[in-house]
Structure 1
């Protein structure tokens, strides 16, 4: 990796914040200790900061740009250590590295910051933020893109719970029971969204069963089946259209759908995207425009606020949630430089 070296007044503090945050477990729903570290970081730098009713860390300031990332991580204990210039530990990539870089750049430039909770589960922090504050002029959401990457698009997300019940009977009977009905429904859904090898995954629906429970009911008179399912939604399809198609495959049972997260695809021609291209080139890199097959809080921000936005952050997203999650510290330093340059460019108008 070719990076341009700079002396920064906050470089040591940035790395200290990063290591402290990665060393502090913060699985979804248990972010309070990590939030306290962020609050202390902003207080040391004489910034207004508070924890809101959702548990988000808010440091309001110049709303030319809102730098935001999530505090929570997925579960998993990876011993925290620095090895050959790389920080190992849960969250180092997703998304504590981007979070620490955002906090540092916000302190460096005086722009607004928000560290949000429960992105890995319900996105309750981002949902609350959208309802609780006015629209900023621009948003930079923190997720790993690699220091040269600028993420413009994410697929949407829809999850539901299929429930079916049938009368119990001898297993020799040919009638379908609730378990078979659940399996039959899911096979029809998968067939409806069969993968197309000629189209990018980003443009397709991905179907995934993530949980199943079935068997004889407690009363001994029924067979019950419950299946948790998830869908990733491309920008060309709405959650309502996907839900309608899945429901049309039902013969028995019902599906209880959760509130969807819509897909997002931002333009590469906004002032935010341009500022990142300039800053990345200034750091010796070659900007790459990305579309991610997953989902992020940017989907919610784009659905609520009519302002330009991108997602950016250090780290290899292939290591998200992985047992070998680690972040090169020189990449982290460079991402802080780039975020700082971008925030200054946007603040200067």
Structure 2
């Protein structure tokens, strides 16, 4: 059994459903200390974070990952226990195999090989892990980035091990992500009997024109390689459940995935002005998941393009699609960020898996990236 497959199995066997690390980070820290890394455990609330470094000065290259996983769902739906790793038909099965314990295991093996071959390497190589990526993302990398900002911790380049590939390992290079802004809109009316609408005020009726305008609006035409900004309503509820009662309140949940054309402050101001223009009696509660980030041409993208082309057999697609990742918290520190990882076809699904051949190639891929950036 290969070293990376063995470590990935060890990590999958730890049921680290967010925000529980379940012992993954102590296992990794023990290995990296033996390799000469300085390890710092940063625990905030119920969240474990690991910061491991080797070398000194700049440039600073960070490998970023998470040890937490999403819940497995109904166990009977899995072909095998999600926390008992199993190799079948050339793939490793288990919760977190692709997202992202496979990448974390590959990070560790690549780091061990790098410092063994280059003990006096240039700059600093680091690993940052959290157990709060799949959950609220409050006390994980978001909190660590705030601490780093206070310390003046320099980060030049960041490689996140999210499963970015689509069909073949290395066929896609993530060079940015959209921002995510969520809102809870409460529209107040006056409850009453449906037979006497003159004695009530229906918040659903009052809100519909504003919601129609919000959902029909074209926010922009995209930004460089980013798609246009999108607003999607995800939940609506009102009423008592009775068919003869006008509700007194409507609650609407919506989310915007937006490109660098916007900031959260501008989006919030635009939406609040629109709702006010419709004369609604409303409250808005915002949750800012993260601003968009984009890595322009430079040493990081050039190195990644060259390495991924060698592994995939063709130049990778360079994309800003998908949801969000923890790189959104590292980018504001001044770092250039990319995402490189295995095929994402089974992430968050029943019978999550990663091809063993891809898993065993990942340490070499990450090692090649590190050696090009920190010779």
TM-score over 0.5 for the pair = yes
Matched, 1:165 2:180: no
Matched, 1:254 2:247: no
Deviations 1:55-88 (A, max 9, x none): 1122122363111112222222453421111112
Aligned to 2:122: none
Residues 39-50 of structure 1: pairs in structure 2 closer than 5 A: 39-43=29-33, 45-50=35-40
CA distance in 2, matches of 1:200, 1:208: 22
Aligned to 1:130: 145
Unaligned runs of 5+ in 2: 116-124
CA distance in 2, matches of 1:86, 1:345: 30
Of residues 45, 61, 66, the one that matches 2:62 is: 66
- Asked whether the equivalents of residues 162 and 253 of structure 1 are also in contact (C-alpha less than 8 Å), the reply is yes
TM-score, length-scaled by structure 2: 0.78
Question: Structure 1 residues 176, 97: CA separation in 2 closer, same or farther (over 3 Å shift)?
Answer: farther
- Asked whether the equivalents of residues 179 and 215 of structure 1 are also in contact (C-alpha less than 8 Å), the reply is no
What is the Cα deviation at residue 327 of structure 1?
A: 0.8
- Asked whether the equivalents of residues 193 and 246 of structure 2 are also in contact (C-alpha less than 8 Å), the reply is no
- Asked whether the equivalents of residues 30 and 72 of structure 1 are also in contact (C-alpha less than 8 Å), the reply is yes
Question: Structure 1 residues 33, 184: CA separation in 2 closer, same or farther (over 3 Å shift)?
Answer: farther
Of residues 349, 364, 368, the one that matches 1:337 is: 364
Of residues 193, 205, 210, the one that matches 2:229 is: 205
Aligned to 1:140: 159
Matched, 1:306 2:306: no
- Asked whether the equivalents of residues 173 and 319 of structure 2 are also in contact (C-alpha less than 8 Å), the reply is yes
Aligned to 1:36: 26
- Asked whether the equivalents of residues 68 and 141 of structure 1 are also in contact (C-alpha less than 8 Å), the reply is yes
CA distance in 2, matches of 1:199, 1:46: 43
- Asked whether the equivalents of residues 163 and 342 of structure 2 are also in contact (C-alpha less than 8 Å), the reply is yes
Deviations 1:104-143 (A, max 9, x none): 2222224210112322233231112212230223111121
- Asked whether the equivalents of residues 60 and 154 of structure 2 are also in contact (C-alpha less than 8 Å), the reply is no
CA distance in 1, matches of 2:89, 2:323: 30
Counting matched residue pairs gives 332
CA distance in 2, matches of 1:201, 1:248: 29
Question: Structure 1 residues 187, 31: CA separation in 2 closer, same or farther (over 3 Å shift)?
Answer: farther
Question: Structure 1 residues 203, 18: CA separation in 2 closer, same or farther (over 3 Å shift)?
Answer: same
What is the Cα deviation at residue 90 of structure 1?
A: 2.1
Matched, 1:83 2:112: no
What is the Cα deviation at residue 155 of structure 1?
A: 0.7
Whichever of the two has the greater Rg, that structure is 2
Secondary structure at the aligned position of 2:192 is classed as: coil
Secondary structure at the aligned position of 1:338 is classed as: helix
Matched, 1:96 2:101: yes
TM-score, length-scaled by structure 1: 0.84
Unaligned runs of 5+ in 1: 1-10
Of residues 26, 44, 56, the one that matches 2:49 is: 56
Secondary structure at the aligned position of 1:159 is classed as: strand
What is the Cα deviation at residue 260 of structure 1?
A: 4.4
Of residues 125, 131, 140, the one that matches 1:117 is: 131
What is the Cα deviation at residue 200 of structure 1?
A: 10
What is the Cα deviation at residue 305 of structure 1?
A: 2.0
CA distance in 1, matches of 2:43, 2:183: 27
- Asked whether the equivalents of residues 203 and 236 of structure 1 are also in contact (C-alpha less than 8 Å), the reply is no
CA distance in 2, matches of 1:74, 1:60: 28
Deviations 1:23-44 (A, max 9, x none): 3222322224333333344345
